[in-house]
Structure 1
Amino acid sequence: MQPKIRALVFDMDGLLFDSEKVVQKSWYIAGERLGYPNVGDHIYHTLGFNVVRRSRYFRETFGEEFPVETFNQMTREIFYELKETEGVPKKPGVDELLSYAKEEGYLLAVATSSGEAYSRTLLKEGGIWDYFDAAVFGDMVTHAKPDPEIYLKACEKLGVKPSEAAALEDSPNGIRSAYAAGMYPIVIPDLVRPDEEIKSLSTWQCESLFDVISILKEK
């Protein structure tokens, strides 16, 4: 039996935008400057974390002396420099999927672990902000992914039950979050390929956002 889906909730970094690679590059640069080489390797363990949870990870991994506040500020500045010089492109199929979903009457939301100011800027500059009926940002929740809080809030804002919504995610923690919320997780991998656990939690596995259009057309 095909699920009845009324809403689509999107992660942002690595899903709508090819931004995780830019973030990773900013981590490598900042880490080198601060004497912590290869910090960028750790992005694979923190995908889906908000800044509070990520800061805790850094201290647990590198020790309490790790200069979290300096690192966070430095990576923000480097990210925006890279954004201006190299750009942060949208992922293939973003415009097509959002346009199709809107035309078909789906409710749309963003549920991102990133902060509101950064997220609004990226979504508006990418020309896709107006597609969304609701948004929940990382600084609006107490518990980061894989906790389901952010997805439950997104469904609440849209006025739908989690069982009426699909969540589009690239990261393992995002898939875990959506599954725990009782939604239909769709995994579209970016930096990390899904392992057997993530495959088992995902209702659908796609290679691009174009594949999601095909899924919706079958419903």
Structure 2
Amino acid sequence: MPARPFFSAVIFDLDGLVLDTESTYTLAWRHAAEAMGYGLSESFCQSLSGLHYQDVEAKLLAVCGADFDLQAFNQQAGACWRASANASGIPVKPGVRELLCYLNGQGIPFALATNSRAANVRECLALSGLSGAFLRQVTRDDVAAGKPEPDVFLQAATLLQTPVRQCLVLEDSLTGIIAAQKAGAFSVLVPSVSPTDPQAAALCDLLLPDLHALLATIRSEFPYPQRNQV
């Protein structure tokens, strides 16, 4: 058996990292806005990546105006998203299943830590065929503050019974990388949109194109600076 990597546990983000939900959300948001007589650019929708829904709503009001009907928008977008997801499912990002298989085989514990609500997490995992894949989960319902605050990662580390500085946090967005840095975890950025956010790239500890690359890195005994080892 190869030597254990320097980290003791792994914490996964959900949207954009485990599941390719970002593209489905963007499509639903743009269709809903168009139906209401508004236009949302793709770049604006991509800027919402990783944000808690309250922050998403605040940005929508800033762009569409204070009189923008958030309730109608949410209903319209939700109906559009659900129709698409129920018809086609939600794609799993490349390398996720292989990485989970490796971690299980090596006995390395892992958890999910997301800004999404628990009900939405359950629905998305079911639609992607990953129900039961993450036995440990921390959602926005479980903490006082969502990302970019570190609460979800700190709670996940507690569930994993592992010091957060020994956790490898996998993220796709600037919001998540900021939260990981605040928590004191080793952060890996796997961008879900192109071009890569330069601020996220500068803040993360490691930048990789996908989870296949992460698995290859781990299998080579993770020869990177071990600044977070306790």
Normalised TM-score (structure 1):
0.91
Task: Letter of the 2:49 partner, please give it.
Answer: L
Q: What runs of 5+ residues in structure 2 fail to find an aligned partner? A: 222-230
For 2:10, what is the secondary structure of its paired residue? Answer: strand
Query: Offset at 1:3?
Result: 7.2
Partner of 1:109: 111
Partner of 1:63: 65
Contact between 2:172 and 2:192, CA under 8 Å: does it hold in 1?
Answer: yes
Partner of 2:29: 27
1:88-137: per-residue Cα shift (whole Å, max 9, x none)? 21111111110101111111111111221121122234333333231111
Contact between 2:5 and 2:218, CA under 8 Å: does it hold in 1?
Answer: no
**What does 1:157-168 correspond to in 2, within 5 Å?**
157-168=159-170
Q: What runs of 5+ residues in structure 1 fail to find an aligned partner? A: none
Closer, same or farther in 2 for the Cα pair 1:90/1:30, shift >3 Å? same
Query: Offset at 1:191?
Result: 1.6
Closer, same or farther in 2 for the Cα pair 1:68/1:41, shift >3 Å? farther
**What does 1:110-149 correspond to in 2, within 5 Å?**
110-149=112-151
Task: Letter of the 1:214 partner, please give it.
Answer: A
1:38-80: per-residue Cα shift (whole Å, max 9, x none)? 2554222221111122112222332221111221122111101
Contact between 1:169 and 1:188, CA under 8 Å: does it hold in 2?
Answer: yes
- Aligned pair partner of 1:76 in 72, 75, 78: 78
Query: Offset at 1:192?
Result: 4.2
- The answer to whether residue 15 in structure 2 is matched with residue 13 in structure 1 is yes
Contact between 1:171 and 1:192, CA under 8 Å: does it hold in 2?
Answer: no
* Stretch of structure 1 that moved more, 26-35 or 69-78: 69-78
Task: Letter of the 1:139 partner, please give it.
Answer: D
Partner of 2:158: 156
Partner of 1:93: 95
Query: Offset at 1:87?
Result: 2.7
Q: 1: distance between equivalents of 2:116 and 2:197?
A: 24
Higher helix residue share: 1
Q: 2: distance between equivalents of 1:131 and 1:84?
A: 20
Normalised TM-score (structure 2):
0.87
Q: 2: distance between equivalents of 1:179 and 1:3?
A: 20
Q: 2: distance between equivalents of 1:125 and 1:83?
A: 7
